[in-house]
Structure 1
Amino acid sequence: MEIKRSKSGQAMPKEVIVVNKDAFLPIHKTEIRWLGSASIMINSRGTTLMIDPLLEGFDMPLLFEMPILPQAVPHLDAVLITHIDNDHFSRPTCKDLLSVCEAYHAPYYVAEVMKEENIKGTGHAIHDSFKVKDIQVTLTPARHNWQNGSSKYQFREWKEEDYCGYWLDTADGTIWLPGDSKLMEEHLKMPEPDVILFDFSDNDWHITLDGAVLLANTYPNADLICIHWGSVDAPDMSPFNGDPESLIDKVIHPERIRVLAPGEAFTLTKKQVKK
């Protein structure tokens, strides 16, 4: 696995690959790039989108420079946001992408908050579907309403539907991002995706390591692109401190664990069931 250790011992990527404008050009395949943290870029035959882009302005120190900054993005057909936390809804990033992004999508609550930044976001309910050109996008459920237990956030009731994952149907296969979430029963009853954008944070308001392994082994043919690890310099905070090596002896077909460098392209392919 292509990882190294920070000075404090955190697992982190060995390198960063700069994403240039060529990554946004029309192609005859679907490429997935992990950009660090929970940020994803997808180019599906020329349809380009980002999920939870955190490309600048985070309020905690990072372990590496982002592979692309907003001013270097030439065009996006959409930005998809899963929830309000600022490592997912990066207001600075979303604002600085306004001139090049055609549409913003999010759960209803996040879409309302986007108005505070003069971002015209389209809100959706869990299980709603919509199209980004030829990509079919469906919101999947998540359980991450941790704010209800914090006195700082008692200005509203935080509902499960304020948080989501995304299921993407492309011409080249299916991609599923469960999102920041406790493991839910519904997560174990999905069609088998070709790729899971895989949070394995050992944290009670995330999936936990045991939950991540159960999810991975429920879908034993899906490629697992590791996300939400090795990006934030926070060795004592479990949501940011996953170690891909902890998965190797627990996951069926461990060769499908994909530890990408930030900015590295992974080509989506439809799976044939392994015997």
Structure 2
Amino acid sequence: MSQEMPQEPSASQVIAPNTRMITAEDFTASNRTSIWWLSGAGFLINVRGTLIMIDPVIMMKDGSPSVNELGHRMLVPLPIVAADVPHLDAVLYSHMDNDHLAPDTAAALIRTGGMYGGPAIVVRELARLGVPADQARAFRIGETFRVGNAEIALTRADHAWQISDPEKLGPPYGPEDCCGFLISSPDGVIWYTGDSRLLPEHLEMSGVDLLLLDVSNDPYHFGIENAVKLANHLGDADLIAHHYGTYDAPESLPFNGDPAKLSCGITRSERRFHILAPGERYDLKTTK
């Protein structure tokens, strides 16, 4: 699927590398665990044939080749759209913000047959969007469940951004409303932290082979200093940057990270820190 992109962003922004398209072959069984960045904060993970999407936002606005379902112009094309996803075993959501739980994408992926999972507040929203009750499961922080070849645990996140103005923005997210996902595969351990400020327990984590690293400098995300701190705490983990380079929204701090601002502080960044294009495959390797 080709999409016409805007010729220039409305202001100077870091733009992700040129998109590579995800194909039907990427959804087939293999003898490895592979990861694709979907752009934004979303990922596709194929664990030896077990197919998982995390926080996918992969639909365009009806009739528009360049504006996605959230109303943002895209700086890069999507690597796949929901209609082209053949099958999923799970669709996982870390929290309810629409740049993670996009309503049209969530509804469109029901036909893939995947189990929808996330915190209870997320599952209530999924029900409102039409996800059948028998296709969704709510999990608590620290709970572990299995999907095919993957064992998945919810990790704690702190993303109570509404606290800046609760009267206008609504009640802040509570401690069970946002999460990360720790995914154990036969080929190693992947950690998607979700949107979060740095917590003490994040710095107690170990045994991670691949950290999906949020590079946004928003105060309700890690920010540059703490993202570097977490990356260096997990000094043996490879790193994939996300939460940047996707939306033409220069006024929105969460969308405007810059991986280059982290590289100089990350130990062995030239070997560990991967700046993938949307749709570029990364194969999990436990031998560094």
1:94 alignment partner, SS class: helix
1:42 partnered with 2:57: no
- Structure 1 residue 158 displacement after superposition: 2.8
Cα distance in 2 for residues equivalent to 1:231 and 1:101: 28
Q: Is the 8 A contact 1:136 1:168 kept in 2?
A: yes
Residue number among 114, 139, 148 corresponding to 1:124 in the alignment: 139
SS in 2 for 1:162: coil
Aligned equivalent of 1:189? 204
- Corresponding residue SS for 1:216: helix
Corresponding residue for residue 109 of structure 1: 121
For 2:172 and 2:193, the matched residues in 1 are separated by 22
**Distance in 1, Cα, partners of 2:173 & 2:218:** 19
Q: 2:90 aligns with which of 59, 65, 78?
A: 78
State the partner residue of 1:140. Answer: 155
Letter in 1 for 2:17: K
1:86-135: per-residue Cα shift (whole Å, max 9, x none)?
A: 00011100100111132100101111111101213211110011011120
**Unpaired segments of 5 or more residues in structure 1?**
none
SS of structure 1 residue aligned to 2:15: strand
Residue aligned with 2:241, SS: strand
Distance 1:76 1:86 in 2: 21
Structure 1 stretch 234-243 or stretch 138-147: which is displaced more?
234-243
Structure 2 unpaired stretches of 5+? 1-7, 60-68
Alpha-carbon distance in 1 for matches of 2:187, 2:95: 27
The answer to whether residue 223 in structure 2 is matched with residue 220 in structure 1 is no
Letter in 2 for 1:197: L
Query: Following TM superposition, by how much is the alpha carbon of 1:78 offset from its aligned partner in structure 2, in angstroms?
Result: 0.5
- Following superposition of structure 1 onto structure 2, how do residues 168-247 of structure 1 map, counting pairs within 5 Å? 168-247=183-262
Other-structure match for 2:5: none
1:10 is displaced (CA, Å) by 1.1
- State the TM-score, normalized to the length of structure 2: 0.89
Amino acid at match of 1:27: S
1:263 matches 2:279: yes
Measured in 2, the distance between the counterparts of 1:227 and 1:114 equals 24
Per-residue deviation, 1:236? 2.8
Q: Measure, in 2, the Cα distance between the counterparts of 1:189 and 1:224.
A: 18
Aligned pairs for 1:89-108 within 5 A:
89-108=101-120
Look up the SS of the partner of 1:243 in the other structure.
Answer: coil
Q: Give me the whole-angstrom Cα distance separating, in 2, the residues matched to 1:96 and 1:105.
A: 16
- Retained in 1: the 8 A contact 2:10–2:248? no
Give distance in 2, aligned partners of 1:175 and 1:76: 18
Number of residue pairs aligned between Structure 1 and Structure 2:
267
Aligned to 1:248: 263
Secondary structure in 2 matching 1:113? helix
Distance 1:101 1:186 in 2: 34
Aligned to 2:22: 19
Deviates more, 1:59-68 or 1:204-213: 59-68
- 1:221 and 1:271 in contact (8 A); partners too: no
Is the 8 Å Cα contact of residues 181 and 191 (structure 2) preserved in structure 1?
yes
Which whole-Å CA distance do the structure 1 matches of 2:161 and 2:287 have between them?
A: 35
Say which of 43, 66, 69 aligns to 2:78: 66
Mapped partners of 1:158, 1:194: distance in 2: 29
Contact 1:79 1:101 in 2 (8 A): no
Residue identity opposite 2:178 in structure 1: Y
Paired residue secondary structure (1:11): coil
Give structure 1 regions of 4+ aligned residues with deviation exceeding 6 angstroms: none
- 1:187 and 1:59 map into 2 onto residues whose CA distance is 33
CA distance in structure 2 between the aligned counterparts of 1:116 and 1:230, rounded to whole angstroms: 30
Give the Cα separation in 1 of the matches to 2:287 and 2:210.
9
Percent identity, aligned pairs only, is: 36
Q: Deviations over 1:175-207 (max 9, x none)?
A: 001110000000000113000000021111000
